Each structure stands twice: as C-alpha cells, then as structure tokens.
Amino acid sequence: MKQTATSSSIEDYVKVIYAFTEWQDKPITSSVLATRLGVANSSVSEMVRKLKDLGLVDHEPYSPIHLTAEGLSLALSMVRRHRLLETYLVQELGYTWDEVHDEAEQLEHAVSDHFIERMSAKLGHPVRDPHGDPIPDAHGNITMAPSHRLDELDPGHTGRISRISDHDPELLRHLESLGIGLDTQLTVVGRPRFGAGLQVRLDLSENDAGPQTLGDEVAASLWLASVGRHADCTVQELTGGSLMSPHSAQ
Amino acid sequence: MKQTATSSSIEDYVKVIYAFTEWQDKPITSSVLATRLGVANSSVSEMVRKLKDLGLVDHEPYSPIHLTAEGLSLALSMVRRHRLLETYLVQELGYTWDEVHDEAEQLEHAVSDHFIERMSAKLGHPVRDPHGDPIPDAHGNITMAPSHRLDELDPGHTGRISRISDHDPELLRHLESLGIGLDTQLTVVGRPRFGAGLQVRLDLSENDAGPQTLGDEVAASLWLASVGRHADCTVQELTGGSLMSPHSAQ
DNA sequence: GCAAATATTTAGGCTTACCGAAATCATAGG
DNA sequence: CCTATGATTTCGGTAAGCCTAAATATTTGC
Ligand SMILES: [Mn+2]
Ligand SMILES: [Mn+2]
Ligand SMILES: [Mn+2]
Ligand SMILES: [Mn+2]
C-alpha cells in the first residue's frame, strides 16, 4: 500500500471531507469545505486538485468532492487519532470535555502511530470519545449505536444521549449546567406551540424539575439512541487492511 | 513581556543554540548550527538574521551567535517541553529510553502550556529526564548535581552516572546490555596502555565480572557526579518571571 | 605579510499553502 | 430559452523555509 506523503493541511482537508459525510449522506462542496477549514474558496480549488493528483479524492470541476478508498483510509486514521487523543486528555490528564478539541486538533498531526497505539492500549481500546463520537479501530471499523438528531425526533421518543457536537465549548458548558451529558436518559415531550425549541424530560434526574426546553441550536447538537431497540452495530469500512500510517515515517 | 510569534523552526534553532552552550561555554558558530539542524549554512544565515530581528539572538556578521535574555527564555521553555515529554513517554506510556527522543522532538512544538503543566503535575514535577538531563522548572530554574564527562576524569574517581547523551539510540541499547544506566555507581580504574577506551568498575553490580573497558565514544557520552561531595545545586536563570509561552496562543 | 584554505553571507530559485480579483461555469426564474 | 446570480476555478502574488552556486570575509600556513 502506497504511503502517500502527507502534511497537516492535507490531513485536515481529508478529515473535514470525511466528517461532512459521516452524518449527511451527500458529498461536500468546495465552498462548504472552505468555510469549515477557514480558508478562501480559491485555496480549496487548488488543494483539491492536489488531493486528486495524490489519489485521495475523486473530483470533476464544479462538482462535489468524494474521498477515494485511500482518502477514506487516511481520513479514518485522522479521526481515530483525534478522538483517541480527546479521550486520553480527559481520562489521563484531567482535561474537561470542553478543553480537548483544540489540543487534539494540533496533536493529531504530531504524534506517531506508536504513540496512538500505546494510548489506545492504556485506555482499554475505547470505541467512543468524550462527546460520544465513535473511534475507528486500527483497521477502520466503526462501532456505534444507531442514533438520530434530537431536533428531528417526534414527541414520545425516548432514549439516551449518544453523541454531542463538540465544536462549541460554550455549548458543552451550558449542557453541563443543565445536567445533560453522554448517556443521559431523556424523552422528547413536545414543541412549544409558537417559538423555537424542544421540550424534553430527563428521565433519571434526582431533582426532577419537570420538562425543560432546549434551544434549537442545543437540540440540533444532540443525538439520541433509542433505548433497548438496537444493539451497537459495527460497520466494516471498505478499506482492506490497516489504516494508512503517514506518521510512521517521521 | 512580549509574546514573540514563533514557529517550530524558530523553536528548534533557539533550542540548538542553547543546547550547545549548556555544556560547552563557548557560543555556537553558524556552521555547527547548520550541521546540528541538518540544514545548509545559507539557511542558517538567513534564519539568524530573522532571529536577530525578533530579538532572540545577538549576532554580528561572521561572528558566533548568542541568545538574548528573551531567546534564553524561549530556549529553556523548549528544553523543559522536550524533557518533560521524554519523561512522560517513559513513565506513563511505556516507551523505552531509546525511543523517546524523536517523538518528543515533534511533540514539543505541538502541545499547549496547559498540557505541559498537567504532565508535570502528574509526574510529580520531576527535575531530570530519563537520560539525566535537567528539566527547567516553569520559571527557568535548573537543578542538577555537578558532573564531569567520564572521558575527562582521572583514574580513581568514583561516583554515579548522572547523565547520558540521548542522541544515539543504539548507544543507549548498548549501555543497557552492559548494565549501565542512570545512577549506576562506578569507579574509573584506568586506561589501556595503548589503544582506546577507559576501564571502569561497576561498584554495586550483582555479577561482579571485574573491570570493563568502555569505548571512547561511550565514555564521552557519560557524565559522572561525585558521590557524597556536593548536594544538588540550583542555578537561578537570568530571566525574571515565567518562561515565554508562545504556545498558549494556539 | 600574504596567499590559500575555510567560514560565512548574499543572490537567485523552489515548494507549500495561503490570498484577492478576475474569469468561467451552472442553474433558477421568468 | 435565456439571462442574472451564485458557485467555482484560474491567475498573479505573498510569506516561510529551505536549497545551490557565487561572492566575500576571516583565518591559517608559510
Ligand atoms: Mn488538525
Ligand atoms: Mn470529540
Ligand atoms: Mn523539534
Ligand atoms: Mn533526554
């Protein structure tokens, strides 16, 4: 398997392309990619041409961008790195879950494969990070309970929080103050007749203060796994063999 | 205090300038700096001009290169990072002492100040790394037993190994096979009449196989602290206040 | 003291990854 | 069907860090 030489820019591009498709089924467009990376559209056009030359993406001009098998493999490797690092920072170094993202964003490009596997072993090979995001194993397999975004669920649905968007540290601190975290059991009660938001009830809360109303942004940042309906499922990724290890050459 | 914007290149230059003067008293020259960094002489000339503009070094054309107080502060911060990382990798992630250098060389540029201080706390604020190199504290103070290179000592000297050069992993593995490590007690016995090397006796070895002969390269890589003569001494560095934290802006 | 050898700097170029402005393509509304 | 609008790419440029080759300064040997 070719060990394409990578840079931290290439790694971030591929990771963002993957992340977009992880929950939306459609492929990412040039301008969305630019926004997520915080660079100009023209920079994306150039870099996508380069990624195509490297065999990491498929792309026709003026069309959305798809990862190749090789690109997917690199992306999964970066996602594994990022999420293992977040988990490690919380469990071993006492970071709070709102502090870990930026640190992991830098470290993911700097640590060796050896470091990653040591960390994974020390943590007992976890399959999800502090925000519930699934951690691919060393072969790119992902294990995750089927989940839906809270704002897309009808009243009556009940389950446990399985995933929380980690991109806004303030939102994470807000959720903490509400007593909502990973694996919190809750039920969707309804929607306020006018106005925004979603009413939910925390099922196992000690101080049961009745239903709470979550803002739209909050509800869209939470995923719910239905209780007792599905077992975790493993998705075998397309990439045969181990994840690419662009970092072992360091 | 100014927070000079740094890059990993700048950090490595300043660190190597400092490392040269840590045991030799003379300042480093352009070509030695080039060799240690693995870059062309011309690259050093350019970068040194830049470091001077940034106020990190003093330099007149065709003369050796000195760190300013600000440069020293940055260098000590990088040395602290590197050596704490090496210690952490050995103690918490099960690295062997010959594996840590390259990993730390990358990580030192990527971790935040927060990460460094968490690590230091978890390790109990160690004052030396796995090779005996002193770890500056957060204010730039260095604690280290006075020591001399083994190849500069006359027969009769006795003491414990206080420092071992970490630049050649093979040498470290060789020392391990000889039963020589940090704090090993030994006595300089003499020199072979002709030929190279240095004869030493391991004082507390279980299987006392008599004196061993160390090669010149080995002897020059070991430092000995005299037993029972001096207490550790603390060197207050010139820089007032805390070490520069170019990484806190990440 | 001066020429040869050595050390250092300068000059001119390259690569990566950005940018803003201009050109080009795609498509939605009329 | 055809144009206006927005999305995307192309074009010319910049900055950091490196390189080789050429120029210049310093040191050494006689
Ligand atoms: Mn990143
Ligand atoms: Mn996460
Ligand atoms: Mn380094
Ligand atoms: Mn060391």
Cβ neighbours of A11 in B, within 8 Å? none
Contact yes or no for B93 and A106 at CB 8 A: no
pLDDT digits (tens, 9 = 90+) for B98-110: 899 999 999 999 9
Establish if B106 touches chain A: CB-CB under 8 angstroms. Answer: yes
| In the predicted structure, residue A12 carries a pLDDT above the cut 90 | yes
What number of residues does chain B have? 250
pLDDT digits (tens, 9 = 90+) for A38-61: 999 999 999 999 999 999 999 999
Contact yes or no for B112 and A92 at CB 8 A: no
Tell me, what's the pLDDT at B175?
92
Q: What percent of chain A has pLDDT over 90?
A: 68
CA angle B19, B22, B28 (to 5 degrees): 60
DSSP codes joined into one string, B144-193 = E---EEGGGPPTT-EEEEEEE--S-HHHHHHHHHHT--TT-EEEEEE--S
| In the predicted structure, residue A250 carries a pLDDT above the cut 60 | no
**A113-122 and A69-93 helices, crossing angle to 10°:** 50
Q: What percent of chain A has pLDDT over 70?
A: 88
DSSP-derived 3-state class of residue A28: strand
- Confidence label for B2 from pLDDT (cuts 50, 70 and 90): low
Tell me, what's the pLDDT at B30?
98
φ/ψ of residue B181, rounded to 5: -145, -170
Mean pLDDT in chain A? 89
**Out of A8-12, A60-64, A183-187, A230-234, least confident range:** A230-234
Q: What is the mean pLDDT of residues A68-79?
A: 98
pLDDT digits (tens, 9 = 90+) for A191-246: 887 777 899 999 876 666 678 899 988 998 999 998 754 455 566 555 556 776 66
Run of H or E including B8 = helix B8-23
Tell me, what's the pLDDT at A249?
44
Provide the CA A149 to C1' D4 distance, Å, integer: 37
Tell me, what's the pLDDT at B249?
44
Tell me, what's the pLDDT at B226?
84
Q: What is the mean pLDDT of residues B169-191?
A: 91
| In the predicted structure, residue B130 carries a pLDDT above the cut 60 | yes
| In the predicted structure, residue A136 carries a pLDDT above the cut 50 | yes
Which ligand sits closest to the CA of A129? 2
In angstroms, the CA A100 to CA A85 distance is 8
Tell me, what's the pLDDT at A233?
59
Tell me, what's the pLDDT at A109?
98
Which ligand sits closest to the CA of B105? 3
DSSP-derived 3-state class of residue A106: helix
Tell me, what's the pLDDT at A243?
76
Contact yes or no for B110 and A107 at CB 8 A: yes
pLDDT digits (tens, 9 = 90+) for B192-210: 877 778 989 988 766 666 7
User: Which residues share a beta bridge with B65?
Assistant: B28
- Distance spanning both ends of chain A, measured CA to CA: 18
Chain D positions with an atom below 7 A of a protein C-beta are 7-12, 16-22, 25-26
User: Which residues share a beta bridge with A198?
Assistant: A214
DSSP-derived 3-state class of residue A64: coil
CA distance A249 to chain B (A): 11
Strand C closer than 7 Å to the CB of B17?
no
Mean pLDDT in chain B? 89
Q: What is the mean pLDDT of residues B62-74?
A: 97
**Least CB–CB distance from A110: residue in B92, B110, B118:** B110
Contact yes or no for A114 and B107 at CB 8 A: no
Contact yes or no for B111 and A118 at CB 8 A: no
**Which residue on chain A is closest to B92 by alpha carbon?**
A122
- Confidence label for A1 from pLDDT (cuts 50, 70 and 90): low
Provide the CA A51 to C1' D9 distance, Å, integer: 16
| In the predicted structure, residue A8 carries a pLDDT above the cut 60 | yes
